[in-house]
Structure 1
């Protein structure tokens, strides 16, 4: 007889973006390991990105439970729709460019909605799930955050029913980059830390997506912590042709603080020094890109080389990953971002295209790229080596020999990762 596992998540199709992929894929493969997933989601969520195509990946046999949620971002949208939408995506302007409305919204979000704007869903969810878990003999529950308020649902269910509880952290809690931007009072900071510690010390098992986050959490709890990264799935795509241009493509959001000026400098210089490069080169942006980065690119005289495509469905993004000549992965140069492993990294790794990643020294991304031989990693000071690698890739592109030779990718497949999860369950 299959074990039943209740998964409590905010992001679920038709939500788009990276947050939905992790548990959509776990749920897809859990039945292969004798576990029956039951998914609990909000009935009327306010998703900042929608990808309706992902609905096709949800099994018709899956039990999905829904309860209404009160979304403060909808109310905030009455005052400023644009600001409300960007904050809900985790996009926060630099302090010097913030409007008065944005500052007020950030202060309210940080100090009146702890741990986050979905806190109002905790109480009704606990009331509904207490009855359901008892009635259906659910043996284990999994909460996944952000939003970290979902871990408070797990906390209360664990305290009241004693059910086995696994808390999955797709991102850190109090050390995530935008946390510092929320204008938190000292009391609010203390409350966040107290809730984080309570969750970490009450759950039976912690799952994290990065090795750095595991080390961080080990300072706060003695509970077992397992690293289960995000991964890739086998995606069928329609026939496509490789880009004729020498395309460097960034797929996903490129926010203002992820501004690799060293890259723009290298590209500007290569264009000036190499006539054939200037004719062949193109910089593709598939997804949101901040105005400040576009301005920075303009300052390096690269505006004429930009192909700004905007947001596309996940299925379309996979095609761009496979047909682009080189894939860009950019992270903020900060201690706080060493633990961030974007989900798209793993899809990049199986695209058979070389990766150029730029970020902080000693990051988890650097470790994975080197381990799998899927690209090159640079910090924000590696001008010479970055320029050399881009030129090498360009020379290979001219000879039609640009490719990668990855190793050890199988352990990052969604099915292999689900097998690891099933052993915890």
Structure 2
């Protein structure tokens, strides 16, 4: 069976957006599926990781077409602000500069569904010709950016082909939508496009249970949950840090700012001399100014180790060496559906996870199910502090580890098997 995957993110793109379908492409042939991947020729990726290029399977066909992206013009206003917004790091409304407010308004109201919309028409023209000359059994579009789903929808309408939509994140309920300065007309256009896509596709795949429930209110099309997952990375043996490293890997957006956690950590440094000597807060990836200021204001300036963006291989190494792994999600009902890919990589590292997020978050269910750590809501200062102290005592005794269970079904090979079964059922 031959399928066409339409995606914006592909190596050398870095970050989590590229890893999901790169992994599926890696394993599809084991399930008698031959993938062809359609990607932009000249994309503007906010993060790059050249190491992902080596993970593209030999012989896989990758076809490309040029894309026009307005981010390059936006850089004339402010290169820094443009890069920050493209990474998803958006300051709170009261701290936004005039340029950032202007760029967000333009991004939200002139580029619907997103700034990659100019890739839709040329891609449809090119793919119509490609599909007429090459036998493809089914097309899959994966977003965000959700403009790729409009490519799939137009091909479906014009050619009547089978089409699956994969939503790595929700569309109109995603947390950052409220920061885009959308007018009522723009918001209505987003909702209309979302509904049209959800009711035109043959099958919907989502990464979380909450997103499935949300979409079931909009469409009666079949919806399957296929989460993100992990690979057993071939990495040299990791030795645990001798310090009590509490590490966060990935972007810390402005909204991911659990001040009660920062306070708990600071108070422990004041109350426990051994903790103060051993503790280190390790931040790997982009960190917003808002979060960094909060951490420093909490009195943790001398304990921060800012590493910036590292390769995926190095990130895995850090996860396996750290004593505690932080997982932080924005404290909003709109983000309870977010299950980041790094959660599964955290799990397989077998280091205890300390997660902070909104009430009824999907990540809480998975952490409990796999016994991989603890989840807290933002306000739970005493519980957070107590748990960190318990972890520290176990660290001192050399007994700190996570007795993880039942994570095999989240391996990317098993998830590819699930996707393959869905593909073959249509």
TM-score range, shorter chain: over 0.9
Query: The residue matched to 1:350 in structure 2 has which SS?
Result: helix
Deviations 1:299-331 (A, max 9, x none): 221110111111101010000000000000001
Q: Partner of 2:125 in structure 1?
A: 127
Instruction: Output aligned runs, 1:33-112, within 5 Å.
Output: 33-112=31-110
**How far apart are the structure 2 equivalents of 1:132 and 1:300?**
57
Q: Partner of 2:315 in structure 1?
A: 317
Name which of 406, 409, 418 aligns with 1:408.
406
Q: Partner of 1:331 in structure 2?
A: 329
Deviations 1:260-293 (A, max 9, x none): 1111111111111111111111110011111221
**How far apart are the structure 1 equivalents of 2:281 and 2:174?**
29
Name which of 4, 14, 24 aligns with 1:16.
14
Are the equivalent residues in 1 in contact too, given 2:33–2:420 (CA < 8 A)?
A: yes
Q: Which runs of 5+ in 1 are unaligned?
A: none
| Deviates further, 236-245 or 15-24 | 236-245
TM-score computed with the length of structure 2 as normaliser: 0.98
Query: The residue matched to 2:115 in structure 1 has which SS?
Result: coil
Q: Partner of 2:232 in structure 1?
A: 234
**How far apart are the structure 1 equivalents of 2:153 and 2:214?**
20
**How far apart are the structure 2 equivalents of 1:127 and 1:417?**
32
| Deviates further, 376-385 or 152-161 | 376-385
Are the equivalent residues in 1 in contact too, given 2:12–2:52 (CA < 8 A)?
A: yes
Residue 257, structure 1, aligned to residue 255, structure 2: yes
Query: The residue matched to 2:391 in structure 1 has which SS?
Result: helix
Are the equivalent residues in 1 in contact too, given 2:208–2:227 (CA < 8 A)?
A: yes
Query: The residue matched to 1:309 in structure 2 has which SS?
Result: strand
| Deviates further, 138-147 or 96-105 | 96-105
Instruction: Output aligned runs, 1:22-37, within 5 Å.
Output: 22-37=20-35
Aligned residues: 423
Residue 213, structure 1, aligned to residue 211, structure 2: yes
Q: Partner of 2:138 in structure 1?
A: 140
Query: The residue matched to 2:349 in structure 1 has which SS?
Result: coil
Query: The residue matched to 2:104 in structure 1 has which SS?
Result: helix
* CA shift for structure 1 position 411: 0.6
Are the equivalent residues in 1 in contact too, given 2:89–2:288 (CA < 8 A)?
A: no
Q: Which runs of 5+ in 2 are unaligned?
A: none
* CA shift for structure 1 position 84: 1.0
Q: Partner of 1:375 in structure 2?
A: 373
**How far apart are the structure 1 equivalents of 2:183 and 2:6?**
30
Name which of 419, 422, 426 aligns with 1:421.
419
* CA shift for structure 1 position 240: 3.3
Deviations 1:37-72 (A, max 9, x none): 000000000000000010000022000000000011
Q: Partner of 1:175 in structure 2?
A: 173
Query: The residue matched to 2:21 in structure 1 has which SS?
Result: helix
* CA shift for structure 1 position 12: 0.2
Q: Partner of 2:157 in structure 1?
A: 159
Q: Partner of 1:341 in structure 2?
A: 339
Residue 248, structure 1, aligned to residue 264, structure 2: no
**How far apart are the structure 1 equivalents of 2:102 and 2:29?**
46
Name which of 276, 284, 287 aligns with 2:285.
287
**How far apart are the structure 1 equivalents of 2:285 and 2:75?**
22
| Deviates further, 126-135 or 380-389 | 380-389
Are the equivalent residues in 1 in contact too, given 2:25–2:57 (CA < 8 A)?
A: no
* CA shift for structure 1 position 241: 2.2
Deviations 1:62-90 (A, max 9, x none): 00000000011011112211111111112
Name which of 161, 184, 187 aligns with 1:186.
184
**How far apart are the structure 2 equivalents of 1:213 and 1:90?**
20
